[in-house]
Amino acid sequence: MSLTVVVPVLDDAGHLATLLSNLDATCPGAEVIVVDGGSRDGSPGVASRHPGVRLVSSGRGRGLQMNAGAARARGDVLLFVHADTILPPGTFEAVRRALGDPRSAYGRFDVRFDSARPVFRVIAALMNLRSRLTGICTGDQAIFARRASFEALGGYREIALMEDVDLTRRLKRLGRLAALRLRVTTSARKWEREGVARTVVLMWTLRALFACGVGPDRLHRWYYGKAPTAPRGEVEGISSGGA
């Protein structure tokens, strides 16, 4: 079983170098594709200097970027990782075992935040429980799936928000969720910046509205305070280390 890790980035240079080094340790031998959505902070340079990383440029938007990476993947399994996420030791083997069970169509990791504040332990526990009970996952949990299943569903819908929720709802129809107890560590920066209570209320409200049929563009405006950016074209490159 071969693995491709797809990393969508937008002005994530500060986190990307750390993640790429982490992938060397946790996913040895995996193909790594970084998909840049128009960064202005040097993120493409960080990716291009890391040996073996394939760099793809695409229009902005996580769904669009992750589809662009998946379209170029060579692995049997796709693992989607945000730039501000760190994977635990044994990631590759855990994914391999999880999808070795034919009943499992997709999977994700438990999550924890990079903050020592007790409230974030509570939030992470509730996120993990909710996902385990519903089979719905968020991108912070490092979603993975067989490439054949992903392609059969048409990949991510290239919508402004909730692309992760939408994908995992569709993957549920193909089989069960492999909810791994291994924990990825993700950034608490947005929660800290926007306020924990406000962010919790906002996220749960947006999820409820999405379930009721409110369009992703409208949700995006409420979440980010602006309309989504129109996508641009794609180009591809590869780092000096080869792939």
174 three-class SS: coil
Q: Rounded CA gap, 45 and 48, in Å?
A: 5
- 226 falls within a domain: no
Domain that holds residue 26: 3-188
Kindly state the helix (H) or strand (E) to which residue 163 belongs, with its residue range. Answer: helix 163-171
Q: Given pLDDT bands bounded at 50, 70 and 90, which one contains residue 222?
A: low
CATH of the domain at 79: 3.90.550.10
24-28, 37-41, 231-235: which range is least confident on average?
Answer: 231-235
Kindly state the helix (H) or strand (E) to which residue 32 belongs, with its residue range. Answer: strand 31-36
**Contact of 64 with 233, CB cutoff 8 Å:** no
Q: Which residue has the higher pLDDT, 19 or 234?
A: 19
- 208 falls within a domain: no
- 170 falls within a domain: yes
Nearest by Cα to 87 from 194, 184, 205: 184
3-state secondary structure string across 196-240: HHHHHHHHHHHHHHHHCCCCHHHHHHHHHCCCCCCCCCCEEEECC
Provide, rounded to the nearest whole percent, the portion of the chain with pLDDT above 90.
Answer: 71
Q: What's the mean per-residue pLDDT of the chain?
A: 86
- 137 falls within a domain: yes
pLDDT tens-place string over residues 167-200: 999 999 999 999 999 999 998 877 766 666 666 6
- 127 falls within a domain: yes
- Burial pattern 184-207, b for ≥16 Cβ within 10 A else e, equals bbbbbeebeeeebeebeeebeebb
- 171 falls within a domain: yes
Domain count, the chain: 1
**Contact of 46 with 13, CB cutoff 8 Å:** yes
Residue 203 dihedral angles phi and psi, to the nearest 5°:
-65, -45
- 233 falls within a domain: no
- 91 falls within a domain: yes
